Amino acid sequence: MASAALELAGFFLGLLGLLGSLVSTVLPYWENTAHVGSNIVTASGTVKGLWMECVHQSTGAFQCETFNSILALSTDLQASRALMVVSLVLSTLGLIIAVLGMQCTVCLEESGELKKRVAGAGGCFLLTAGFMTLVPVSWTTNKVIQNFYNPNMPATLKFELGDCLYLGIVSAFLSILGGGMLAASFCEGQEGGGGRGRRHGGGYPYPVGGLPAVRNPNTLQMGGMNVNSRGQTMGPSVNGTPGADHVKPVAAGYDVTGYV
């Protein structure tokens, strides 16, 4: 049950990471205009994203313009676009594969170890997607901070960190954590599979007929007399059973044959 709980938690964390990455990719709030120094503009603010640039006028109007030319974009923006799109694709594939391999689903029930491996593969996809989301978000964050504290940068070109950068960082860590849980549940299932079938703490089971007959290891029966290992006669036996006056309590130990 612990493995199933980890799989469910990892799946929902990966789903939240996918939704957060999708919102961060679509919305244009990656960079906000920094109102510092002599930055006096007629608009109340400008925001930039991966696909468009929007201007919020002081009158309340909100106008957006998409980036029409891909080749005219900077290299870091093109790379950020590609990484975010690939991250979304990997997250979607990872969640689909994880559903097929989770213990709470009926898919691949008769496959045995293959079902666990499929769940682990879905976790690896989510891990990769989380790292791919973290790269462009960290890259853009570093660029914005460097430009903000650059004294040679004009105030009109300085921007602050947008909300999508914070959301992207959180989404990346959610995807990484969810993928790690799925991979951990796969490893736990592999380690726990070898311990099945053990009974009585790893000892040998008793025979079906019950406990074995215990005889005095120091007594040997010779004809009608019982002689112990020390050479002392214990008296005649009746029907192969020593007399009640000469029966010794069974001592813990092993005889020469190895049986108790």
pLDDT at 128: 94
Residue range of the domain that includes 33: 2-191
pTM above 0.85, yes or no: no
pLDDT at 237: 47
pLDDT at 229: 47
∠ CA 156-158-162 to the nearest 5 degrees? Answer: 125
**What's the whole-number average pLDDT of the chain?**
75
Whether 259 is covered by a domain: the verdict is no
Whether 212 is covered by a domain: the verdict is no
Using pLDDT thresholds of 50, 70 and 90, give the confidence band for residue 151: confident
pLDDT at 43: 52
pLDDT at 127: 93
Whether 260 is covered by a domain: the verdict is no
pLDDT at 218: 52
Span 153-202, pLDDT tens digits = 887 788 889 999 999 999 999 999 999 988 887 675 555 544 443 333 44
pLDDT at 200: 37
pLDDT at 115: 78
Chain CA centroid to CA 239, Å: 69
Span 44-90, pLDDT tens digits = 678 889 999 888 777 777 888 888 888 888 888 999 999 999 999 99
Whether 237 is covered by a domain: the verdict is no
What are the DSSP calls for 77-90, one per residue? HHHHHHHHHHHHHH
Specify the number of domains making up the chain. 1
Percent of the chain exceeding pLDDT 90 equals 32
Whether 201 is covered by a domain: the verdict is no
CA distances from 228 to 154, 165, 173, 216, 246 (A): 108, 89, 76, 9, 11
User: Per-residue pLDDT for 238 more than 50?
Assistant: no
Backbone angles phi, psi at 119, to 5 degrees: -65, -40
The C-alpha atoms of residue 29 and residue 35 are separated, in whole angstroms, by 16
Q: Encode burial over 160-191: b for 16+ CB neighbours within 10 A, e otherwise.
A: ebbebbebbbbbbbbbbbbbbbbbbbbeebee
Span 12-53, pLDDT tens digits = 999 999 999 999 999 999 998 877 665 555 556 788 899 998
Report the CATH number at residue 153: 1.20.140.150
Percent of the chain exceeding pLDDT 70 equals 66
Whether 208 is covered by a domain: the verdict is no
Which has more confidence, 125 or 156? 125
42-46: long-range pairs with CB below 8 Å, 24+: none
* Residue at 211: amino acid letter: L
Q: What is the CA radius of gyration of the chain?
A: 37
